[in-house]
Amino acid sequence: MWLETLTKEELISEIKKLTGDEQIAWMLALGEFLTISARSSYKTDGEPGQIEDVMGHNEIQHRLFARIRDLRAGREWTVESFVGVILEIANTYGVAGDVGWAIRKSLSTKTAEPL
């Protein structure tokens, strides 16, 4: 299980407990932690970086910002659909472990407070 301690269904349940503003705050925290987790794909010590990892993180952030925009505009993008999309991208690009860390970290942080 790539989320290690959280199933897809548990993640959806946790997100659904949040108000719209709290979801936006959580997604902003997730975005921050995704930028940190993407650093694992940087070039280091003369070794090439992993462009596929960067692409995966970028695709997830694209969806993340799109959902923030939609929530703020009052357009519904279901939690189930959003979670399904980001998990599919994470698995496709091989960044599920990094993304799982970012999700767990963002859910456990106290920075995910309403705006």
Give residue 46's pLDDT: 66
Separation of alpha carbons 101 and 83, rounded Å: 15
pTM: predicted TM-score of the whole model, two decimal places? 0.84
Residue 100 forms part of a structural domain: yes
Give the chain's domain count.
1
Tens-place pLDDT, residues 16-27: 999 888 999 999
Residue-number span of the structural domain to which 56 is assigned: 8-41+49-108
pLDDT per residue over 25-40, tens digit each?
999 999 999 999 888 7
- Please tell me the predicted confidence (pLDDT) of residue 4: 62
Q: Which of 115, 114, 86 is nearest to 102 (CA)?
A: 86
Cβ–Cβ < 8 Å for 95, 56: yes
Q: Is residue 16 part of a domain?
A: yes
DSSP 8-state class, residue 46: T
Instruction: Provide CB contacts within 8 A for 97, sequence distance 6+.
Output: 2
Instruction: Please report whether residue 3 resides in a domain.
Output: no
Angle between helices 79-93 and 51-72 (to 10 degrees): 170
